[in-house]
Amino acid sequence: MRYALGEEHEQIRQAARQFAERELAPRAIEVDLSGEFPEDNVEKLRKYGYLGMNLPEEFGGGGMDMLSHTVAEEEIARCCAATAVIMSVHNILFGETVLNSARGTVREEVLRQVATGERLGAFALTEPEAGSDAGAITTTAVREGAEYVLNGRKTFISNAGVAHWYIVCATMDRSKGTKGITAFLVEKGQPGFSFGKPEDKMGIRGSKTADLILDGVRVREARRLGEEGEGFKIAMGALDHGRIGIAAQALGIAQAALDASVNYAKQRVQFGKPIATLQAIQWMIAEMAVDIEAARLLVYRAAELAGQPGRHSEFFAMAKLFASTTAMKHTVKAVQVHGGYGYMREYKVERLMRDAKITEIYEGTSEIMKLIIAQSLLR
C-alpha cells in the first residue's frame, strides 16, 4: 500500500530520490565517520533548488507546498539524515519564520539570501536551563533607542557557525513569562556574537550543533520579528511546522532501515537458505512496513494541514511522535535483522539507529509531543 501522491508530488519524490541516491548516499558513511559539515552536500542542495524550495518564487525560492518539502525531506533523509536536518532547519524553522514574521526591506533582503540558498539560516530558542520549558529562557533583550542589546547563551543550535542568519529568542521581561519573549534576527560577524565548540554527537554527525554566545549584541529594531512580546508564539509556530520536517526526516530514516533489511534478508544465507525465508525475519520486516506506512499517512496528512488555516499543533505533534518512535524502534530492528554485521560501522543500519534517536528529542521531545496532543484533547 502506498499513499497516493498526486502526479506533481510523485515527480518531486522521484527527482529527490534520484538526487539523494546519486549525490548524497555515496558520502553518507564518510560524513558520519568524519563528523565534518558536508559543505559539498549543501552546495548540491543549493544547486538543485532544495534550499528555499518552500519559499516564494518572487524571492528566488521554489514556491512549493509543505507536502512537496516533506517528500523531498524524506528522500534526502533516506540517504543522509545529517544533510536532511540542515535543509529542514534552514527552510522551515528559519525561512518560513522570516517569511511570516519579518518586515519591510529586512524581510526582502534576508529572504532573497535564504530562498536561493546563498546563505544558511538557523533558529535559536533552547538554552542550557530552558529545553522543553522553552518559556524559561533567560537570554535578555534590552531596548536602547532604536536598538536592542542581547545578552545570553543558546545551546544545541543546529547549523550554528555554518549559518549566516539566526533567529534568536530573548526575554524583555521575565515577569511576563512567555509574553515577555521577543524574536530577533542576528547576523554572523556582528560584534559580541560568537559560537561555542561544535558538539560531538551520537548521530547526524555531519550537521553542526553548537552554542551561540551573545555578549552585548546590538540589533536594529527593523530586525525584530513581529512585535515585542510575540516571540514565543512565533517560535511555537515555527516549531509546529518544523516538526513536520523532523517527522519526514524520521520517516526517511525508517524507510532506509526497511530497505536495507529487505535487501540483506534476501542475500544472507543461513541454514542453507536466505534468511528472508525465515518467519522470524519476515515478521520483523512486516512490522516495520506497517508502522512506516502508518507514519507516512500521518506525516503527509500533517503536511497537507500545514497549508490550511487554523492551528493544527496536535496533528504535527502526532506525526512527529509516531514517525520518530517508528524510526527508533525499527532501526533497532534493522540492526537485529543484520545480526553481527548490523553492529559494524561498515553497514549503514547502525548509523541509521544513531541518527534516529535525535528525532525523538529535537524540536520537541516525544514527551512534549504527548503533552501537546493531550492538552488539545483535554482543553
Query: By CB under 6 A, what part of segment 115-144 binds ligand CAA?
Result: 123, 125-126, 132, 134-135
211 touching ligand CAA, by CB under 6 A? no
User: Quick one: cell of 220?
Assistant: 536594529
Among 32, 96, 240, 350, binds ligand CAA (CB under 6 A): 240
95 touching ligand CAA, by CB under 6 A? no
Under DSSP, the state recorded for 119 is S
Query: How many other C-beta atoms can be found within 10 angstroms of the C-beta atom of residue 156?
Result: 18
Give the relative orientation of helices 231-267 and 81-88 as an angle to the nearest 10 degrees. Answer: 160
Of 29 and 371, CB closest to ligand CAA: 371
User: Quick one: cell of 177?
Assistant: 513569562
User: Quick one: cell of 140?
Assistant: 535578555
Find the shortest distance in angstroms from Cβ 140 to ligand CAA. 18
> Are residues 68 and 12 in contact, defined by beta-carbon separation less than 8 angstroms?
yes
User: Is 10 noted as a catalytic residue in this protein?
Assistant: no
> Are residues 78 and 252 in contact, defined by beta-carbon separation less than 8 angstroms?
yes
Find the shortest distance in angstroms from Cβ 62 to ligand CAA. 22
367 touching ligand CAA, by CB under 6 A? no
174 touching ligand CAA, by CB under 6 A? no
Q: In Å, how far are 41, 171, 177, 185, 369 from 211, measured between CA atoms?
A: 23, 18, 23, 16, 24
> Are residues 74 and 251 in contact, defined by beta-carbon separation less than 8 angstroms?
yes
Among 66, 80, 186, 239, binds ligand CAA (CB under 6 A): 239
Of 126 and 255, CB closest to ligand CAA: 126
Binding residues for ligand CAA, total number by CB under 6 A:
25
46 touching ligand CAA, by CB under 6 A? no
Best CA proximity match to 52, nearest among 111, 133, 11? 111
Please identify which residue in the block is written with the cell numbers 551561540.
Answer: 212
Among 106, 172, 213, 236, binds ligand CAA (CB under 6 A): 236
237 touching ligand CAA, by CB under 6 A? yes
**Burial status of residue 272 (CB atoms within 10 A of its CB: 0-12, 13-18, 19 or more):** exposed
Among 184, 232, 300, 315, binds ligand CAA (CB under 6 A): 232
363 touching ligand CAA, by CB under 6 A? yes
Query: By CB under 6 A, what part of segment 150-169 binds ligand CAA?
Result: 156-158
> Are residues 244 and 302 in contact, defined by beta-carbon separation less than 8 angstroms?
yes
Q: Annotated catalytic residue: which of 96, 221, 363, 367?
A: 363
Of 294 and 371, CB closest to ligand CAA: 371
Residue type at 208 in one-letter notation:
K
CA distance 223 to 216: 16
Among 37, 300, 315, 362, binds ligand CAA (CB under 6 A): 362
Active site residues: 363
Instruction: Enumerate binding residues for ligand CAA (CB under 6 A).
Output: 89, 123, 125-126, 132, 134-135, 156-158, 178, 232-233, 236-237, 239-240, 311, 313, 362-364, 368, 371-372
